[in-house]
Amino acid sequence: MSYRTHPSEHIAHNVDKADFLRMLGEYLKPDSLLSDPEDLRPYDCDALSVYKSLPWVVALPETVGQAQAVLRLCHQHGVPVVARGAGTGLSGGALPADNGVLLSLAKFNRILHIDPANRVARVQPGVRNAAVSEAALAYGLYYAPDPSSQIACTIGGNIAENSGGVHCLKYGLTVHNLLGLKLLTVDGELIELGSGGMDAAGYDLLALVTGSEGLLGVIVEATLRLLPAPTTARALLAAFGSVEQAGAGVAEIIGAGLVPAGLEMMDNLIIRAAEDFVHAGYPVDAAAIILCEMDGMAEQVDADLEQAQNILLRMGATEVRLAKTEAERKKFWAGRKSAFPAAGRISPDYYCMDGTIPRRSLAEVLHRIAVLSASYGIDVANVFHAGDGNLHPLLLYDASQPGQLERAEEVGGKILELCVAAGGTVTGEHGVGMEKINQMCIQFSPAELAQFHAVKAAFDPRGLLNPGKAVPSLHRCAEFGAMHIHRGILSFPELERY
């Protein structure tokens, strides 16, 4: 797949690599500083592995002091810095700059303190998401955000991307479960955001930094909110004869005042793929299934599930199955959680999209996706967090067939534009990164992008942190805009085209 660092987003410098390594070496141990192409190779991409670029240098600091030293040197010499956690991101957010330092936070991997009385965990950014809940379990607490990569992804990356997950309909995104941050600014200064309480003095910089994709600073510590573990969780599976009916069932559940812990939908293509893969017992002839989970006190869960069951039957479900045992509930979820690898079994390659739309547009957008799929000859399997309208269309293609990859990419771009046109967004939880940077030109006007750049400059005036990601330059948009019309007006008429 193709990406291009736009000339206007490239941060040039003339620093000699050997000199710079020597300077970094004064602060970092030899094994914390990598520059041989062979050592750099594992860092050339994140989980969007079709985008690759070798970093100039990789730095793996172990202390805040070392991370500060790396940032100070980069700042002093005008060298770009890309921070990296576990590298599980899906939008190329951790794609290295070829003349920059890749700052890995992998060695910041300690849970510093679990405070059960205040229900918080203080952790370093390299701690795995799932490890927080594992450590909190002893106190009957857990950390709610659960991106599907939670066994591998780390907290620093979760914050940088404002990660979601299956449970965010009820428990919110990362931003709703974060109380404090220690952040290094581009010049290596340590600032603390948030407080020990539920809010802080001044502007809500905690919210601003969350989801800022490494453009505003480098996270070196986080204070996470822990919740009491629910005593009961139960799930149901409902089968539908059409995707539209299933979509209407989702809307009814929400409209009835239920707040499921998870409300997921899968279409026939992915139902069959998942069933072949993990034998979850899914009805393979259904056009769509809904998985709905309730959690909380047993009495609440029973009341809510009964209501959900009645609604789904009334909305035309051909079958509603309540998981009778914990094992059966886990089996329901095993199918959903294996959806991506299952897609990998029915197609040599797949490309996962991440748009969000208002729920009411579900049927319309799915129909248009089907039309795109047919006209480009690219199969699309749909799995989504239906409760919050977050779509994950999986575009199935074969990279060994000439032209398929480019067609898949083009369909992907069109799907994102559909999401924007429906009143939604180009990314619900995976981030813009490098992947969706062109589509940002469609979602935002030049003045809005200029406001983003002004905010970026307040933190990082020279644009050294993760250049070329998340917020496109106006020149990039001018070029992209030559092919696209924004809200009925040709974008950037004043800018030179090249």
Partner 1 sequence: MQNENLSELLRERVLKAIAEGSPLLILGGGSKSFYGRTAVGEVLDMAGHSGIIAYEPTELVLTARTGTALSTIESVLDGQGQMLAFEPPHFGLATLGGTVACGLSGPRRAYAGSVRDSVLGVKLINGKGEILSFGGQVMKNVAGFDLSRLMVGALGTLGVLLEVSLKLVPKPEVEETRCFDMGADAALTAMSLWSGQAWPLSAACHDGERVYIRLSGAESAIRASAKQLGGERLPDGCAFWAGLREQNLPFFRQMDNSQASLLDANLAVPSLPREAGAAAIAESLWRISLPPAAPMLSLQGACFIDWGGALRWLKTDADAAAVFALAQQTGGHASLFRSIDRSGLVFQALPDPLKALHMRLKQAFDPLGIFNPGRLYQEW
Residues of this chain, 96-155, that bind partner 1 according to CB under 8 A:
115-120, 139-141
Q: The tokens of 68 are what?
A: 């500060």
Q: Does 85 bind partner 1 (CB under 8 A)?
A: no
Q: Does 407 bind partner 1 (CB under 8 A)?
A: no
Among 173, 343, 411, 441, binds partner 1 (CB under 8 A): 173
Among 30, 31, 138, 257, binds partner 1 (CB under 8 A): 257
**For tokens 């809510």, what's the residue?**
304
What is the C-alpha separation between 35 and 33, in angstroms, rounded?
Answer: 7
- Span from 8-16, 18-26, 149-157, 430-438 in contact with partner 1 (CB under 8 A): 430-438
What is the C-alpha separation between 100 and 179, in angstroms, rounded?
Answer: 31
Q: Does 432 bind partner 1 (CB under 8 A)?
A: yes
Among 45, 153, 169, 418, binds partner 1 (CB under 8 A): 169
**For tokens 């006209």, what's the residue?**
375
> Partners of 218 in the beta sheet?
184
Among 214, 249, 296, 335, binds partner 1 (CB under 8 A): 296
Q: Does 64 bind partner 1 (CB under 8 A)?
A: no
Element (H, E) at 415: helix 404-421
| Residue placing its CB nearer to partner 1 in the complex, 203 or 498 | 203
- Span from 105-113, 124-132, 203-211, 319-327 in contact with partner 1 (CB under 8 A): 203-211
Q: Does 262 bind partner 1 (CB under 8 A)?
A: no
Listed residue (448, 412, 378, 391) closest to 3, CA to CA:
412
| Residue placing its CB nearer to partner 1 in the complex, 331 or 430 | 430
Among 44, 161, 221, 435, binds partner 1 (CB under 8 A): 161
| Residue placing its CB nearer to partner 1 in the complex, 104 or 427 | 427
Shortest distance in whole angstroms from residue 99 CB to partner 1: 25
Q: Does 300 bind partner 1 (CB under 8 A)?
A: yes
What is the C-alpha separation between 120 and 191, in angstroms, rounded?
Answer: 20
What is the C-alpha separation between 398 and 377, in angstroms, rounded?
Answer: 11
* Number of helical H runs and strand E runs in the chain: 17, 20
**For tokens 């969706």, what's the residue?**
436
Q: The tokens of 347 are what?
A: 């197609």
| Residue placing its CB nearer to partner 1 in the complex, 347 or 466 | 466
Q: Does 252 bind partner 1 (CB under 8 A)?
A: yes
Among 21, 64, 284, 303, binds partner 1 (CB under 8 A): 303
Number of residues that bind partner 1 (CB under 8 A): 96
CA distances for 115 relative to 24, 209, 221, 263, angstroms? 36, 24, 15, 31
Q: Does 483 bind partner 1 (CB under 8 A)?
A: no
Shortest distance in whole angstroms from residue 438 CB to partner 1: 12
What is the C-alpha separation between 267 and 287, in angstroms, rounded?
Answer: 6
What is the C-alpha separation between 159 and 145, in angstroms, rounded?
Answer: 10
- The per-residue b/e assignment along 379-406, b for 16 or more CB within 10 angstroms, e otherwise, is bbbbbbbbbbbbbbbbbbbeeeeeebbe
